[in-house]
Amino acid sequence: MDTLFSLRVFREVVRQGSFTRAAAKLGISTAMTSKHVSHLEKHIRAKLLQRNSRSLHLTEAGAEYYRRCTEALETLDTAAERAAGGADIPQGQLRITMPMWFANAHFCGHLAEYRRRHPQVTLDLILDNRKADLVAEGIDLALRVSTDDLPPGLIVRPLCGIRFFLTAAPAYLAARGTPAAPQEAARHDFVLPSYVDMGSVRITRGGESFTLAPPAPIRADNTLMVRKMVLAGCGLGYLPEWTVRRDLESGRLVRLLPDWHILTATLYAVYPDRAFLSAKVRSFIDFLCRQTKTDGEAV
């Protein structure tokens, strides 16, 4: 028999003071109600109720068991209510892993707006270029940027395309000249990321294409470091629009070959299971999907 349900039957019998009334309340037969109580007594090897045709009373062991049983069932009921509420109302801690370069003013503005809309959700942000094991590490959601399809076994939702621009610092261009064509850019020094292969990038304009495979005297495993080195005048660099938008607006960086399409990578929301998706995860994905419509290219 279902011992948990037997506990609920026992609690109801005590509350109603009657097997018959408890049975009616639970929607089972009186005989089944008696079987559930007998099942508990056999399970704990103690008499819980003294009963005859007119009344029933808790034994000493039964009174203590009823108190503990009631506390346990109330704890379980509260936990179930809170868990069910988490499926309807965004609340609780949301653990998200994302690339390190998401530590930029533009994306942080999105996070701040999400918190304003959903103050019951707390954010635990994990910035890492590696692809974390979401299940093993207890992570609710991953934000991943890729130009290729992601591996199977995960639920993947594309959000938007993030454009990469070819940029350089004004001081570098003043010293080395501003490339007006891809062939000229290919002769310049580049600062490239080391965690992804960007040593050869095909750029396009209309029906034209050109493969940039420039020298890269500096590589870094952090896009934010690549940006800093480009700002310092160390060379040209491919950088996500989100990280350089303010630099371009202020003139700290210059966008090169603006008529050419350099690179667009897709931003994905990745999570381990579609079943019983919590409100906090669902609300964050839906929020990002709306916010990023104007951030990049449609996917």
Q: Where are the domains of the chain?
A: 3-84, 92-159+266-298, 162-264
Mean pLDDT of 134-155: 78
pLDDT at 78 over 80: no
Q: Spell out the CATH class of 162-264.
A: alpha beta
- Compute how many other C-beta atoms are within 10 angstroms of the C-beta atom of residue 55: 9
Q: What integer best gives the mean pLDDT of the chain?
A: 88
Nearest to 10 by CA among 121, 174, 47, 103: 47
Q: Cβ distance 166 to 256 under 8 Å? A: yes
- Separation between Cα atoms, residue 235 and residue 188, nearest integer Å: 7
Angle at 60 between CA 59 and CA 64, to 5 degrees: 110
pLDDT of residue 275: 61
Contact of 161 with 297, CB cutoff 8 Å: yes
- Return the CATH class of domain 3-84: mainly alpha
pLDDT band for position 82 (cuts 50, 70, 90): low
Q: Are 212 and 200 in contact (CB under 8 A)?
A: yes
223-237 confidence digits (pLDDT tens): 999 999 999 999 999
Distance CA 128, CA 97 (A): 7
Percent of the chain with pLDDT over 70: 91
Does domain 92-159+266-298 fall under CATH 3.40.50.1980? My reply is no
Compute CA distances 276 → 49, 114, 124, 269, 279, whole Å. Answer: 41, 22, 21, 17, 9
Pair of tokens at residue 189: 């020094």
Listed in sequence order, the DSSP H helices in 28-169 are 30-44, 60-86, 105-117
Is residue 254 very low, low, confident or very high in pLDDT (cuts 50, 70, 90)? very high
CA angle 235, 236, 237 (to 5 degrees): 120
Return the pLDDT at 190. 97
Instruction: Report the chain's terminal Cα–Cα distance, integer Å.
Output: 53
- Which has more confidence, 3 or 228? 228
CB 59 within 8 A of CB 48: yes
The whole-number pLDDT of residue 151 equals 60
Dihedral angle over CA of 173, 179, 185, 189, nearest 10? -10
Q: Regarding beta strands 191-193 and 218-220, do their DSSP bridges make them parallel or antiparallel, or are they unpaired?
A: parallel
pLDDT-derived band at 277, boundaries 50, 70, 90: confident
Are 92-159+266-298 and 162-264 equal in CATH topology?
A: yes
pLDDT tens per residue across span 18-32 = 899 899 989 999 999
Task: Give the pLDDT band of residue 86 (cuts 50, 70, 90).
Answer: low
Q: Average the pLDDT over 111-131 and give the result.
A: 92
- Among 78-87, 120-129, 204-213, the range scoring the smallest mean pLDDT is 78-87
